[in-house]
């Protein structure tokens, strides 16, 4: 069924009460799925040590088996069950965990192959959202949780977004309100702590990572060699994509909008002084705030995708800080 059409909804949205958290913890312990809030985007969680449970994530999302999952942990002792730590992990954990940072590490044998796409590495992070942290404590389990949406579509930043996309495929959604950041976590490969590599930009930047580690953090080439396996999610050339065609622009001007068809929608980075009351001009931030733009990006793409627009246009953000993450998502969303 096409996104945006009415669904026969079965998923129940749960408030984060103590009773509901205990109930959802039991669902996860028994091998079920629960959509959970994080500070980045909503995730679809399962027991990361249960291969059959994690297989249900792939089926619900229609996700390809070669795209590994991120595993969420409550603390460093839980991390030690699933991954091999090193000096870089200790430094980064002190600086950024709990928070929107994912580390790619060597896995231990307790992690099922389905979680890692059969690779020797595993992607791990310690989330900051208080409800997810309570759920991790209650289950006593690491939780695999990719974004809670059909594979490749725009990531969800509210419980309603999850229900719109997966409401007929899952039974439980934990409502933690709108996501604080609205962009997926930064991913850095620190299997070799002397040569860390940034795989996906996020609100934590390569410069911040380098200051903590004391060594440069290289960015992975955007031209991925298809012969090299993907070691973390969100690295496909086309991802985070609305159903409407999307074009990116360095700048959007009044002249560009005037020349185009009125059934095309335009997303400016900041509110333009020439927009007036134009019904097809939107913006990510009123005054050019990168954090606000990141929070609004996916929600606005989803809203416009449900409209009658024939094409979407998006202006790239300033190329620094979280702007690099915004531009990464927009370019993947626009890829053919």
Give span(s): CATH 3.90.870.10, the chain.
Answer: 12-219
pLDDT per residue as tens digits for the range 289-313: 999 999 999 999 999 999 999 999 9
What is the arithmetic mean of pLDDT over 228-240? Answer: 80
Express each pLDDT in 45-99 by its tens digit. 999 999 999 999 999 999 999 999 999 999 999 999 999 999 999 999 999 999 9
**pLDDT value, residue 6:** 44
Parts of the chain belonging to CATH 3.40.50.11030: 246-334
Per-residue pLDDT of 165-221, as tens digits, reads 999 999 999 999 999 999 999 999 999 999 999 999 999 999 999 999 999 999 986
- CATH architecture, range 12-219: Alpha-Beta Complex (3.90)
Distance of alpha carbon 118 from alpha carbon 50, whole angstroms: 14
Indicate the CATH number for domain 246-334.
3.40.50.11030
pLDDT band at 238 (very low <50, low <70, confident <90, very high): confident
Q: Which pLDDT score is estimated for 57?
A: 98
- For residue 7, is pLDDT > 70? no
pLDDT at site 223: 57
Neighbours of 150 (CB within 10 A): 16
Specify the pLDDT at position 1: 37
Residue 266, classed as helix, strand or coil, is: strand
**pLDDT tops 90 at residue 5:** no
Terminal-residue alpha carbon distance, the chain: 22
In Å, what is the CA distance from 91 to each residue of 5, 87, 115?
47, 7, 26
Residues in the chain: 336
């Amino acid at each position: 069924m096409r996104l945006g059409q009415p669904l026969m909804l079965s998923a129940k949205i749960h408030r984060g009460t103590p009773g509901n958290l205990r109930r959802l913890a039991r669902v996860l312990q028994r091998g079920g799925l629960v959509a959970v809030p994080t500070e980045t985007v909503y995730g679809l969680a399962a027991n990361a040590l249960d291969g059959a449970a994690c297989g249900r994530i792939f089926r619900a999302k229609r996700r390809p088996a070669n795209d590994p999952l991120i595993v969420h942990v409550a603390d460093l002792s839980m991390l030690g069950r699933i991954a091999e730590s090193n000096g870089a992990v200790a430094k980064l954990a002190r600086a950024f965990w709990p928070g929107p940072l994912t580390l790619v590490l060597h896995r231990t044998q307790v992690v099922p192959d389905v979680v890692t796409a059969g690779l020797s590495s595993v992607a791990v992070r310690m989330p900051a959202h208080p409800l997810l942290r309570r759920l991790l404590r209650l289950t006593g389990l690491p939780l695999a949780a990719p974004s809670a949406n059909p594979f490749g579509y725009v990531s969800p930043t509210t419980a309603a977004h999850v229900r719109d996309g997966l409401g007929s495929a899952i039974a439980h959604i934990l409502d933690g309100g709108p996501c604080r950041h609205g962009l997926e976590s930064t991913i850095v490969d620190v299997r070799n702590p002397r040569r860390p590599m940034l795989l996906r930009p996020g609100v934590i930047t390569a410069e911040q990572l380098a200051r903590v580690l004391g060594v440069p953090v290289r960015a992975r080439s955007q031209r991925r060699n298809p012969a090299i396996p993907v070691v973390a999610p969100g690295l496909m050339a086309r991802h985070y994509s609305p159903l409407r065609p999307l074009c990116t622009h360095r700048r959007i001007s009044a002249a560009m909008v005037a020349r185009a068809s009125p059934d095309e929608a335009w997303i400016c980075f900041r509110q333009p002084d020439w927009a007036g009351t134009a019904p097809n001009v939107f913006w990510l931030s009123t005054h050019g705030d990168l954090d606000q733009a990141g929070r609004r990006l996916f929600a606005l793409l989803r809203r416009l995708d449900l409209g009658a627009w024939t094409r979407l246009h998006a202006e790239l953000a300033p190329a620094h800080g979280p702007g690099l993450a915004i531009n990464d998502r927009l370019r993947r969303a626009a890829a053919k």
